[in-house]
Amino acid sequence: MRSSLNGNWKFSYATNAAGRIESFYRTDYDCHGWEDIQVPGHIQLQGWGGPQYVNTMYPWDGLDGVRPPAIPEEYNPVGSYVKHFRLPETMTGQPVYISFQGVESAFYVWLNGEFVGYAEDSFTPSEFDLTPFLKEGENKLAVEVYQRSTGSWLEDQDFWRFSGIFREVYLYTVPQHHVRDLRVLAELDDSYTAGRLTVDLELLKQGISASASVLMELKDASGEVVLAEHGHFDEQGKHSFAVDAGIVKTWSAERPYLYSICLSVMDADGVLVEAIVQKAGFRRFEMIDKVMCLNGKRIVFKGVNRHEFNSRRGRSITKEDMLWDIKTIKQNNMNAVRTSHYPNQTLWYELCDEYGIYVIDEMNLESHGSWQKMGAVEPSWNIPGDHPEWQGSVMDRAVSMLERDKNHPSILIWSCGNESYAGEVILNVSNYFRETDPGRLVHYEGVFHNRKFDATSDMESRMYAKPADIIEYLESNPGKPYISCEYMHAMGNSIGGMHKYTELEDKYKLYQGGFIWDYIDQSLVKKDRYGREYLAYGGDFDDRPTDYSFCGNGIVFADRTVTPKMQEVKFLYQNIKLEPSRFGVKIKNGNLFESTEKLALSVRLLRNGHEVYSWLGEARVEAGDVAVVPLELPDSSVHEAGEYAIHAALVLKEAELWAEAGHEVAFGEAVFEVSSAANASEVSPIPAGSVRVVEGDVNIGVSGNGFSILFSKQVGSLVSVRYGNREMIAVPPAPLFWRAATDNDKGTQLGYEAGVWYAASLARRCTNVKLTVDDEGISGITASGAYATVAFDYAFSVSDKLQFRVAYTVYADGSIRVRSGYKGVPGLPNLPIVALSFKLSADYDHTEWYAMGPEENYIDRAFGARLGVFSRKVEQLPSPYLVPQESGNRTGVRRLAITDSRGLGISLTAAPSAPVECNVSPYTAFELENAAHAWELPAVHYTVVTVAGRQMGVGGDDSWGAPVHDEYVIPSDCEMTFEFVLSAVDRSAE
């Protein structure tokens, strides 16, 4: 029986122990006048002190010179909590315990003025026996929480530094015969079909228990009893059931089948005294020939690291948060979570059991600042290292985690913590896991830095190893399988090149996947000076020292909206691969256990982005099999000339726990062209009619029916496009070689390495303007012809050999063909982008694309994008990364219309065989570059259109120096031409 103590508690705050109210716990101390604080919750998010974000350094670095085990005394906030409670009647006369599920980082407990106990380890429960201290009527519970303790040396995770009672608190009582420990092993035999169930029980009180007995019933998911056994406890209060369960349904992430073990504890008279329901999943996780296998099959972790985080509540997350997370994770084809870097709330593991997620359960240990300083390995005062005095508290953390979590089928691997270097203490922990729980494997990455302790980890685990390093390991005849416990650093606009990792899955048996860093941005809601809420990062709370925006590396934004990076993750993590063609869809079912039975195959045929045919049918492919489902596209649907895309998708026939019916589980695309006699040649016909050309002293005007175009020799560009009476050019097109640096760009010091391209984009000179009419020159001041071309040559101080030419050809229908040519020179840094950028008025605030989408994509992050038509308001195009940066790009752009509220505007088209990349945004690259927060961006007056021949990839191996992969960069000496056609759009009648 439980009684929650969540809710308002009385609270007093002091910045250090000397300032605290020492006697507050006493019964004669009245704290009714204190302020209220919410439990669970962090102190720093409820108005006392403030949050601080730091990564590897200890948060007091530079402020206090303490070394372990000493702790700062000057600044060590103390929260004194008081809760008055009356024991529920149903609990009176019974033993009463209190459970604190999570308190950061250390605390003392008193009841009615008497000292009850002390605890450390913020992320596992601490429980105390309150029975001797309880009284009738009102009880006074006093808890004194210290932000910093010896435990803080072991809790140097890369996260916000908070303190307080941040997980729930409750009282509970137990019956006379109470099962204090329950261990369930639901194993499989060598056929992986028959189950063996071991249930070890231990009663709280020994001696008196010999007369008690227990009935164990195993129920399947429908509630049917499939097995029942009865047993008696021995003198030690123990009993073990060990039974063959016959053929069972197995548990896996693909098919998380759970049984219930129902235990009825009876006293000597056969009266039921305690009933327990424990979920169990039959599964077997083991190493076979150096390969990690689940139920006999090689497993690949399509994983993500997850911090418990909520932008308003910090790490005090709610059930709703967890439900949202698990659904989002499942919907996006992830199958594994590492609980970076501490044990999570219990409910999370229950959800992983139920929804089907493999878990690396990581103990609460990180001593990063004790051995790595500004990136360099310097373990001179590393803890716990080989120091026996740290063994006890470190081991306690391991035991607390294992004992709390051991019955969850979802947990496959125990992790000995994160980034604490290596030594005897952690080795002992890993041996403890292994010996206590042979049914799981042990993970620890830190041995990478000290191979003497290699035996600590059963698998080779690295963080941020590049694809080439991983391949080198895999090809060196290694002794252990490989996982990346962290990879794809998803900070800001990132996740480029992820396919280079997932491609290893099929090439190397010992490559067993990785865990993206990480799931959710750790940014906190704060108000700017005008009272508007925004997502704040380190430093925004005047917290120093800080590591600023490094807290934001999520594939989910902190407000729990999905980032565009997810598009790539979902695609590359799909178990089932689809390869459509005109004649059929090849389905490779990479599931280990599940057929495609629950999925329907949907095929859509698009012509130039618009659906011309669709089909929904069956496609049953067994796990591990490949099959081709023939496709008969009606002739009528493919006879017209155009660009066709076949979208094949497997969608849920019925709703699952984690998604609605119709949810897309797998996707594949094929694109092909159908040419007719009329468009067999690539060259589009020249529009009929003629243009009138006026070459003035300063300007060149080209006009025709309903349009007039002006080029300026003085400005050196196209300066006016008037369709009807509308002026389209607010700021003339100019060459652009810079993109607003992404977080990854900053990691590679793009500004330092390639800043010349920033300068070149701001300062150029037009060296030559040339006008031709048709293919002739112009004679006289006015002329006319079928078309007229004005070409501009530009020079840049970066090199006098670099050539950039933009030629505009105006046709009689008012369309303008824009051809840009870049001819580079060797010896300069790679270019971020080669583009033309111009501005429209912000009235043109709506876009419709026929391009790769729907979400933002880049040349190294376009696998998850698909060719189609989609629309967005301009304001929705930039992605709200924590620090404004390049975002919102689309590759493969064939058509883009930018219109105002009336449907009038401009369109841009490119040949499907030579599409362009486009970015439409309210902000220029330079405005974005200059802003550290979205609220620093200027008021919106323009729609900025950037059309690129190519933009370099975004990268993603890490955010602290990993370059974008070679195939996705733009060498300075390349030659590049790109072209598109601008024309008027009038949808006002639609």
Structure tokens at 31: 């704290």
DSSP 46: T
65: Cβ–Cβ under 8 A, 6 or more apart, which residues?
A: none
C-alpha 351/C-alpha 307 separation (Å) is 16
Candidate list 202, 274, 419, 855, residue with the active-site label: 419
Euclidean distance between CA atoms 690 and 959, whole angstroms: 54
Minimum distance between the CB of residue 540 and ligand GAL, rounded to whole angstroms?
18
Give 448 or 792: the residue with its C-beta nearer to ligand GAL: 448
Smallest separation (angstroms) from ligand GAL to the CB of 470: 17
Interface mask toward ligand GAL for 104-143; x: CB under 6 A: ----------------------------------------
For the window 954-983, what string marks contact with ligand GAL as x by the rule CB under 6 A?
Answer: ------------------------------
- Does position 168 interact with ligand GAL (CB under 6 A)? The reply is no
Q: Are 148 and 43 in contact (CB under 8 A)?
A: no
Q: Residue 649 Cβ, how far from ligand GAL at the closest point, in Å?
A: 33
Nearer to ligand GAL, 892 or 963 (CB): 963
Show the binding pattern over residues 368-407: x = contacts ligand GAL (CB under 6 A), - = does not.
----------------------------------------
Comparison of 885 and 983: residue with beta carbon closer to ligand GAL? 885
- The partner residues of 487 in beta bridges, in order of sequence, read 516
Nearest distance from residue 463's CB to ligand GAL, in Å? Answer: 5
Nearer to ligand GAL, 401 or 945 (CB): 401
Binding mask 899-928 toward ligand GAL (x if CB under 6 A, else -) reads: ------------------------------
Q: Quote the least distance from Cβ 305 to ligand GAL, whole Å.
A: 7
Binding residue (CB under 6 A) for ligand GAL from 144, 168, 419, 540? 419
Given 430, 456, 512, 553, the residue binding ligand GAL (CB under 6 A)? 553
CA distances from 659 to 65, 250, 305, 326 (A): 52, 22, 21, 10
First to last CA, the chain: 65
Q: Is 241 in contact with 266 (CB distance < 8 Å)?
A: no
Binding-site string for ligand GAL from residue 834 to residue 873, where x marks contact by CB under 6 A and - marks none: ----------------------------------------
| Interatomic CA distance for residues 162 and 184, integer angstroms | 35
Which is closer to ligand GAL, CB of 414 or CB of 550?
Answer: 550
| Rounded-to-integer distance, Cα 954 and Cα 956, Å | 7
What residues numbered 485-524 form the site for ligand GAL, per CB under 6 A? 486, 489, 517
Nearest residue to ligand GAL, scored by beta-carbon proximity: 158
d(CA 920, CA 904): 17
Nearer to ligand GAL, 95 or 417 (CB): 417
Distance CA 918, CA 943 (A): 13
Site map (CB under 6 A) of ligand GAL, residues 533-552, x = contact: -----------------x--
486 belongs to the catalytic site = yes
C-beta closer to ligand GAL: residue 25 or 550: 550
Restricted to residues 46-75, the positions that interact with ligand GAL (CB under 6 A) are: 55
**What is the rounded CA–CA span in Å between residue 152 and residue 58?**
9
Residue 375 CB, nearest distance to ligand GAL (Å)?
10
Q: Which of 144, 155, 158, 643 binds ligand GAL (CB under 6 A)?
A: 158
- Nearer Cβ to ligand GAL, position 122 or 847? 122
**CA neighbours closer than 13 Å in the CB half-sphere of residue 881:** 28
Is 517 within 8 Å of 552 (Cβ atoms)?
no
Identify which of residues 57 and 694 has a Cβ nearer to ligand GAL in the complex.
57
Least Å from the CB of residue 626 to ligand GAL: 38
Q: Is the Cα torsion angle 290, 293, 299, 305 positive or negative in sign?
A: negative
- Locate 360 and state its tokens: 């690396």
105 or 415: whose CB is closer to ligand GAL? 415
Number of CB atoms found within 10 A of residue 688's CB: 9
Please, which of residues 685-744 interact with ligand GAL by CB under 6 A?
Answer: none
Based on CB atoms, which residue is closest to ligand GAL, 493 or 924? 493
Q: Identify the CA nearest to 348 among candidates 167, 150, 585, 97.
A: 167
Q: For residues 494 and 552, is the Cβ–Cβ distance under 8 A?
A: no
Nearer to ligand GAL, 407 or 885 (CB): 885
- Cβ 6 vs Cβ 169: under 8 Å: yes
For the bound state, the minimum distance from the C-beta of residue 462 to ligand GAL, rounded and expressed in Å, comes to 11
Please report how close the Cβ of residue 553 comes to ligand GAL at its closest, in angstroms.
5
Kindly identify the residues of this chain, within the stretch 448-467, that bind ligand GAL according to CB under 6 A. Answer: 463
Which tokens hold the place of 952? 């370099």
Q: How far is the CB of 147 from ligand GAL (least distance, A)?
A: 20
- Answer yes or no: are the C-beta atoms of 554 and 562 closer than 8 Å: no
Q: Which is nearer to ligand GAL, 93 or 375 (CB)?
A: 375
Handedness of CA 566, 571, 576, 578 (dihedral sign): positive
Among the options 486, 643, 695, 855, which is catalytic? Answer: 486
Asked if the bond preceding 854 is cis, omega within 30° of 0, the reply is: yes
Cβ 158 to ligand GAL shortest distance, Å: 3
Prior bond of 880 cis (ω within 30°): no
The string of DSSP letters for 97-149 reads EEEES-EESEEEEEETTEEEEEEE-TTS-EEEE-GGG--SSEEEEEEEEES-S
Contact 935, 927 (CB under 8 A): no
CB of 233 to ligand GAL, least distance (A): 45
Identity of the residue numbered 526: K
CA angle 178, 182, 183 (to 5 degrees): 170
Q: What is the C-alpha separation between 313 and 45, in angstroms, rounded?
A: 7
**Least distance (Å) from ligand GAL to the CB of residue 123?**
14
Residue tagged 């002293």 (tokens): 697
How many residues bind ligand GAL, per CB under 6 A? Answer: 10
Reading the block at residue 795, the tokens are 């020079």
CB 313 within 8 A of CB 165: no
Tokens of 535: 């997502």
DSSP label at residue 430: H
CA 200, 202, 208, 211: dihedral to nearest 10 degrees?
-20
| 120 is an active site residue | no
Binding residue for ligand GAL (CB under 6 A) from 370, 410, 418, 522? 418
Convert 838-851 to b/e letters by CB count within 10 Å (16 or more is b). bbbbbbbbbbbbbb
Q: Which has the closest alpha carbon to 449: 520, 371, 514, 526?
A: 371
Active-site residue set: 419, 486
**Residues at the contact surface with ligand GAL, assessed by CB under 6 A:** 55, 158, 418-419, 463, 486, 489, 517, 550, 553
